[in-house]
Amino acid sequence: MRIVKIILLVLIFSLVAIAGYVGYVKWALPDIALRKEVKIPTDSASIAHGKYLANSVAVCIDCHSQRDWSKLAGPIVLGTEGQGGERFDQNAGFPGVFFSKNITPDNLKNWSDAEIFRAITTGVDKDNKALFPVMPYMHYGQCDPSDIADIIAYIRSLKPIKNEVENSVPDFPISILINTMPQEAKFVTRPAASDKLAYGKYLVTMAGCGECHTKQDKGKPLPGMEFAGGFEFKMPTGGIVSSVNITPDPETGIGNWTEEAFVNFFRQFSADSGYVAPPVVKGALNTPMPWLMYGNMKTDDLKAIYAYLRTVKPIHNKVELFKP
Ligand code: HEC
Ligand code: HEC
């Protein structure tokens, strides 16, 4: 009898503890303070710098605009910059249905600078709700606050577009666990461009190259497989494309690419090269890699990225690029 009583007590105790934890996660998290001291610049040089980062490095505008998936690499539809509405759902491997939000002034006009800053760098929105990390806030939280401020200055200058975006709906249990995802930012100072390796690493973090180029298991990057590719994307035009190995492994990675070849590969997609994305027929190879955005990266920034990628651990990992 006594043993039954003890088991019962332990059970009740565990249930209370679990209920307490769930309640804490559900009601007390996320708990990230606003940085009221955030100052957003208004001069044209800062806005231009923010525009460059938001379009060509951090690629905010890539996810927050309408994309034309009938063409290679899904170029954004001109005139939709920042309006949001791109869908990331279970078909693409996400635990729920998530929509990128309207980040033009039409939606953000009632947000304070500190609220936008907190959303971008920690994943907590104006109403203190957690954002799902499709929005790569954990990367932006490792950037220089002045770069984020410039990006905010730029999105504040976007043409306001009326576009009501549906609410994101995470599946259970992510609907509760999502509150544990926002984390305090770990800001750094942007390394000088002359410090090529450190600067290249910084750009790779901001651009989130590792995010797509590392295979994941249940939403977590596989340890030891950083930049080795194999992350699969179901494409709207059909088929599954895998990110490739961008470690310096000569056989399966980009070890044999020269700096020039690397830079030219990106620059072929730049606006000044006159590149026009060709149509993709259903079932043919398409790619989520935002080539048309990164293609406009400055040559020196691409060189720094290349230099840093030469220094990551070479991993032998052959990836099948496309399965129709
Ligand atoms: C990989 C795609 C992607 C990229 C890149 C991206 N975002 Fe997002 N963003 C999203 C998604 C999806 C959401 C909504 C997440 C959710 O509902 O949980 C979002 C939410 C937001 C929000 C919250 C808006 C609201 O109304 O709640 C802001 C602000 C924002 N993003 C700004 C940015 C900025 C600025 C950048 C670049 C520094 C950026 N995003 C880059 C996908 C992206
Ligand atoms: C949204 C996901 C995504 C992001 C972000 C991304 N990539 Fe990719 N990348 C891919 C996929 C998928 C492929 C394979 C298909 C293709 O070639 O486009 C690829 C291909 C490549 C290739 C190989 C080109 C070839 O033909 O062999 C290189 C090099 C590359 N990426 C580098 C980068 C770098 C550097 C970054 C960051 C600046 C980056 N990628 C960011 C998904 C991504």
pLDDT level of residue 16 (50, 70, 90 thresholds)? confident
The tokens describing 323, both together, are: 């399965």
Separation of CA 306 and ligand 2 centre (Å) = 13
d(CA 90, CA 174): 13
**Per-residue pLDDT, 63:** 97
Report whether 254 contacts 309 (CB < 8 A): yes
Task: Give the tens place of pLDDT for each residue, 21-45.
Answer: 888 888 888 999 999 999 999 999 9
Separation of CA 307 and ligand 1 centre (Å) = 29
More confident residue, 85 or 13: 85
pLDDT level of residue 165 (50, 70, 90 thresholds)? very high
The tokens describing 172, both together, are: 């259970």
Distance between first and last Cα of the chain: 64
**Among 265, 271, 268, CA closest to 306:** 265
Q: Assess whether the C-beta atom of 286 lies below 6 angstroms from ligand 2.
A: no
What's the pTM? Answer: 0.95
Domain map (residue ranges) of the chain: 41-190, 191-324
Q: Assess whether the C-beta atom of 124 lies below 6 angstroms from ligand 1.
A: no
d(CA 293, CA 301): 13
Q: Assess whether the C-beta atom of 305 lies below 6 angstroms from ligand 2.
A: yes
d(CA 211, CA 192): 24
> How high does pLDDT run on average in the chain?
95
d(CA 294, CA 108): 26
Q: Does the N-terminal peptide bond of residue 30 adopt cis geometry, omega within 30 degrees of 0?
A: yes
**Per-residue pLDDT, 91:** 83
Task: Give the tens place of pLDDT for each residue, 205-255.
Answer: 999 999 999 998 877 889 999 999 999 999 988 899 999 999 999 999 999
**Per-residue pLDDT, 24:** 85
Atom 39 in ligand 2: which residue has the minimum CA distance?
209
- How confident is the model over 95-120, as a mean pLDDT? 98
- How confident is the model over 84-111, as a mean pLDDT? 94
pLDDT level of residue 92 (50, 70, 90 thresholds)? confident
